[in-house]
Amino acid sequence: MAIQPIRLFGDPVLRQRAIEVVDFDRELHTLVSDLTDTMLDAPGAGLAAPQIGVGLRVFTWYVDGEVGHLVNPVLDLSEEEQYGEEGCLSIPELSFDCTRALSVVARGFDMHGEPVTIEGSDLLARAIQHETDHLDGVLFIDRLDAEARKVAMKAIRESDWFGMDQPTVKVSPHPTNGLGL
């Protein structure tokens, strides 16, 4: 539907736990479409609703040519781990090595409210864990060891985008009766 501005590190919405989706309606369909369009335009391997300023438990992914979305995810993680490069559209142009579970079984719903189970390993597992973290207000740099996190924070502070103004969100003073995000 529309490409939305991506919120950057420092925006408070990225540190808040998103709320469960209860209405599987046209607004949710629009949100999934906006997330998908924004993710593909960026481009990225995933995008969570808080990254475009919407505090709902929804994310999209694009891995190995497959586009998908998940609403209200619950994850079962493997004990086996993977260690590798990870980046984030809210922390542009930077990536750091991060430990994640090697595989995941993610249960949730599609935008129509139908139950969905996604099983993935490697990059898909990493993307699903990364985006679910966003829904809990956790950034991947929070998962780095102390030394790596210190390096990451220094790189963030030195980046061209750090401290840039966040998009202004205008809220209608009128009741929307659930017709607007």
Catalytic residues: 131
Residues 6 or more apart whose Cβ sits within 8 Å of residue 126: 45, 82, 84, 86, 100
CA distance 36 to 72: 17
> 121 forms bridges with which residues in the sheet?
103
Structure-token match 């060891």, residue found: 145
Q: What is the DSSP letter of 19?
A: B
DSSP track, 59-105: EEEEETTEEEEEEEEEEEE-SSEEEEEEEETTEEEEEEEEEEESEEE
